[in-house]
Structure 1
Amino acid sequence: MMRRRTTLLTSCTALALALGATACGGGPVSAGGGDKALSGQTVTVAGVWSGSEQKNFQKVLDAFTAKTGAKTQFVSTGDNVSTVVGSKIEGGNAPDVVMVPQVGVLQQFAQKGWLKPLSPTAQQTIGADYSPVWKKYGSVGGTLYGLYFKAAHKSTVWYSPGALAQAGVKPPKTYDEMLKAGHTVSDSGLAAFAVGGEDGWTLTDWFENIYLSQAGPEKYDALAAHKLKWTDPSVVDALTTLGKLFKDKQLVAGGQKGALNTDFPSSVEKVFGPKPEAGMVYEGDFVAGVAHDQFGKTIGKDANFFPFPAVGGGTAPVVSGGDAAVVLKDGKNAKAGMKLLEYLATPEAAAVWAKAGGFLSPNKKLDPASYGDDVTRATAKSLIDAGDSVRFDMSDQAPAAFGGTKGAGEWKLLQDFLRDPSDPKGTAAKLESAAAKAYQG
């Protein structure tokens, strides 16, 4: 689903701290030290990325090679990382590093005993340069296994500035104001929202933002861990709030049926394509990449965002996702793999992809000037400023059978709810039944 080498480390001391090396005194240096200490070695990296994401990550790997001499080989796994990596381990061909896109998968790998704990150098860098929440999501049983290299900001509502200007509305501050603005946009000739309901994961993101703001972070954490049942009144309340949007034909382009026949890229097209049908589309920061790359929109001029607004008197939510680098015990070159991970933990590595675009880093030390435009800088600042109030995508924390499988679990049940939002309590009961089965399994 889905992520400048200059001015980044302001002193030799910072470089030495970030890389665990005596970079200024002429002694031995580890990853990123520039002495080609890993020449002749190859690090194999597996991840879900393909297309432009894979090309941009390769630039980061090439920078690692330039500094250390280690060659790299990237293997695209497709969406089912767990199955592909498991089969490679069983076949004696485990990669050294895996970029894991879901907390649930990271936990699964750790529980199977596949992962090496992060090195002291990596742990030191993460402790100094990242908000503690990222350490929490990279840890299992108190042991830190994962470094979050690429983040997603999933609390952004993207809009056509021209459509909102034509309707005479400004970006709203509350959820109720957003729906009111949506009706005004609709009165001006466009639907308010394009909803990509054919992809069930977009609906989980809608629910998570509403739930985090309306119910609060403690209940969000409890529901994510299934320590709170989906039949809890807070879930019913969030579904009721979401249902009011889903059943309002003025607000949803094509109505419920149209939304169920619209995938995520098409939802972006309905706002930013050649024949606009809606003024706004809710999804993560990656909307900008689609709007720019596929429809030629200038980000900040033809496409912009406002933060997902506060719901029902709560705090505005910040839901995130991300890809964590982990090192496999069974990799043929796990030691060099750990050096790669130490490099990925530095702002220098993050800057390579930030400059290329389509990327956010949770690293607080990354110079905002590394990002290519003001809108991306604003999105990144929002993510960093949220600190420990960031909450990881709830469905990504769940077992895949519940939170990450097409046509099953939460994805299917929220599609059913989009089709008929008349019974939030009944939907909550079905969600609890599916969750209980998946978490037991």
Structure 2
Amino acid sequence: MPEHTSNAPSPRRPWRTRGLAAAALGGLLAATACSPGTGPTGEAGDLDGVTLTVAAKWTGAEQKNFEEVLAAFERDTGATVNYEATGEDTGAYLGPKIEAGEPPDIAALPQPGLVREYAEQGALKPLTGEAATALEDNYTDYWRDLGSVDGEPYGVLLKAAHKSIIWYRPDAFDDAGVTPPDTWDELVGTTAATLSDAGITPFAMCGASGWTLTDWFENAYLSEAGPENYDKLAEHEIPWTDDTVVRTLTKLDEVWGDDDMMKGGRKGAVQTDFPSCVSDVYGQKAAAMVFEGDFVGASAAEAGATVGGDAVAFPFPAVGDEAPVVVGGDIAVAMTDDEGVRELMAYLASPEAQTTWAGLGGYLSANSEVPADAYADEFTRGLSETILAAGDDVRYDLSDQVPSRFGATEGRGMWSILQDLLRGTTDPEAAAEALEKAASES
């Protein structure tokens, strides 16, 4: 894991003083450590005795790094912040707690659909004070809208994700004599095939974590069918039995349907979760590639790899005319108005907290005030610039836009149906029919 040190002077405190000035791009490769600032009276320790709870889906290195960010808030304010891991199905975890009147103080929601659902239930507190100011000052309209419902701001995109990259081991590519591909046909027919012929398993899959399979589909579909059809499918304005969907599922089956393409074959692929698949590549070195977002960097570092060195990535290859760019993220929302919640929300929304996390690795921010040199490596810095400069063809994770019971629920909907395709108990045409049925029922 990248070291996170600083010999900089005492930082300004943006969660109290409206933000740092934007740093110029292309700064030094350095990680900067910051303390979160003072409490509401301007003196540290004014939240002594206050206990807060934050719930999120992060585990492993992601959880560890986030807890380090929270620890800075604890040191500065005297508060105690407890972390609760929700598991992959955030809605299933939070639903009973909301019904019981015992929600966490703050939750990181992985789907904008959940923000709307909970806001309409009255389960969220609108952003106010410094958190609302940080959202207005430091985020573009695109990112602000993700956490808003009918124009009312409820959440801040705490952690962005660039989901259109495939990570690989350069040594494996060198051994097989291959280079990163530009197109899907090159990925399957040249890169993966040559690796396999050289006795190197091309992919480690993360099929037990169904959300990773939806990311495969979204990237392939955006490139194959184009942004307009992507939007229509997200709104269910075209059926999931449309030819564009079947073509995309057929493309995926070129990898998913070949045991030699994946560590452990189909059976092993659907039994391996995230981040175990990352360890398969960078720890066990049992495969050459793993597909997932920029956050793979944290798990790769935990496995002993150096991001930008022996852990690098190439853009998801073009299936159609253009390579896709799919983004995701986790939106921090307040679920109570207890003492200390407003202060913690303001801190999490600040460039200071996010600069700290950026220096720890495996993280991207959509906050325009996080300086480029906060990122611990040049590779991640480049990804951050892509996120901030998102163009008209960039699309947000489709499975996070549809109802969560269809797009983001373990054991049903997209997760379950794509797992069936991966394990070989269905085919592309039947999977498309199952997806349409599930979407219509959601």
CA contact (8 A) 1:354 1:370 kept: yes
Post-superposition offset of 1:161? 0.2
How has the CA–CA distance of structure 1 residues 59 and 420 changed in structure 2, closer, same or farther, with 3 Å as cutoff? closer
Partners in 1 of 2:222 and 2:346 — Cα distance?
A: 33
SS at match of 1:238: helix
C-alpha RMSD of matched pairs (Å): 3.2
Structure 1: gaps of 5 or more residues: 20-28
Q: Which of 265, 273, 283 lines up with 1:263 in the alignment?
A: 273
TM-score by length of 1: 0.84
The yes-or-no answer on 1:399 pairing with 2:403 is yes
Post-superposition offset of 1:109? 1.0
Post-superposition offset of 1:204? 1.1
Alignment of 1:24-43 (within 5 A): 34-36=42-44, 38-40=46-48, 42=50
Alignment of 1:21-100 (within 5 A): 34-36=42-44, 38-40=46-48, 42=50, 44-48=52-56, 49-65=58-74, 69=77, 71-79=79-87, 80-100=89-109
Q: Taking every aligned residue pair, what percent have the same amino acid on both sides?
A: 44
The yes-or-no answer on 1:415 pairing with 2:419 is yes
Post-superposition offset of 1:181? 1.7
SS at match of 2:288: strand
Indicate the residue corresponding to 1:360 in structure 2.
364
Q: Which of 319, 324, 327 lines up with 1:320 in the alignment?
A: 327
TM-score by length of 2: 0.83
SS at match of 1:192: coil
CA contact (8 A) 2:55 2:86 kept: yes
CA contact (8 A) 1:8 1:348 kept: no
CA contact (8 A) 1:94 1:331 kept: no
Partners in 2 of 1:200 and 1:187 — Cα distance?
A: 29
CA contact (8 A) 1:209 1:317 kept: yes
Partners in 1 of 2:269 and 2:14 — Cα distance?
A: 53
Indicate the residue corresponding to 1:332 in structure 2.
338
Q: Which of 212, 218, 221 lines up with 2:228 in the alignment?
A: 218
Say which is worse superposed, 96-105 or 416-425, in terms of deviation. 416-425
How has the CA–CA distance of structure 1 residues 116 and 30 changed in structure 2, closer, same or farther, with 3 Å as cutoff? farther
How many residue pairs get aligned? The number is: 419
Indicate the residue corresponding to 1:349 in structure 2.
353
Q: Which of 282, 287, 303 lines up with 2:296 in the alignment?
A: 287
Post-superposition offset of 1:337? 1.8
How has the CA–CA distance of structure 1 residues 424 and 63 changed in structure 2, closer, same or farther, with 3 Å as cutoff? same
How has the CA–CA distance of structure 1 residues 64 and 245 changed in structure 2, closer, same or farther, with 3 Å as cutoff? same
Indicate the residue corresponding to 1:23 in structure 2.
none
How has the CA–CA distance of structure 1 residues 82 and 412 changed in structure 2, closer, same or farther, with 3 Å as cutoff? closer
Post-superposition offset of 1:208? 0.8
The yes-or-no answer on 1:187 pairing with 2:204 is no
Post-superposition offset of 1:321? 2.4
Partners in 2 of 1:269 and 1:305 — Cα distance?
A: 15
Indicate the residue corresponding to 1:237 in structure 2.
247
CA contact (8 A) 1:319 1:392 kept: yes
Indicate the residue corresponding to 2:379 in structure 1.
375
CA contact (8 A) 2:15 2:130 kept: no
Q: Which of 279, 301, 313 lines up with 1:305 in the alignment?
A: 313
Amino acid at match of 1:59: E
User: Deviations along 1:163-197, whole A, 9 cap, x unmatched?
Assistant: 11122222222222222222222222213222222
Post-superposition offset of 1:89? 4.3
How has the CA–CA distance of structure 1 residues 126 and 218 changed in structure 2, closer, same or farther, with 3 Å as cutoff? farther
User: Deviations along 1:49-94, whole A, 9 cap, x unmatched?
Assistant: 4554444323333433455x36142240422544544444454544
SS at match of 1:264: coil
CA contact (8 A) 1:34 1:66 kept: no
Amino acid at match of 1:345: A
CA contact (8 A) 1:222 1:228 kept: yes
Post-superposition offset of 1:308? 1.1
CA contact (8 A) 1:43 1:337 kept: no
SS at match of 2:202: strand
Post-superposition offset of 1:349? 1.2
The yes-or-no answer on 1:437 pairing with 2:438 is no
User: Deviations along 1:398-419, whole A, 9 cap, x unmatched?
Assistant: 3333222333221121122223
Indicate the residue corresponding to 1:171 in structure 2.
180
CA contact (8 A) 1:18 1:121 kept: no
Post-superposition offset of 1:210? 0.6
Partners in 2 of 1:341 and 1:403 — Cα distance?
A: 27
Alignment of 1:130-149 (within 5 A): 130-149=139-158
The yes-or-no answer on 1:205 pairing with 2:215 is yes
Partners in 2 of 1:5 and 1:145 — Cα distance?
A: 33
Partners in 2 of 1:14 and 1:110 — Cα distance?
A: 24
Amino acid at match of 2:178: V
Say which is worse superposed, 46-55 or 298-307, in terms of deviation. 46-55
Partners in 1 of 2:6 and 2:279 — Cα distance?
A: 34
Indicate the residue corresponding to 1:152 in structure 2.
161
Post-superposition offset of 1:34? 4.1
How has the CA–CA distance of structure 1 residues 292 and 30 changed in structure 2, closer, same or farther, with 3 Å as cutoff? closer
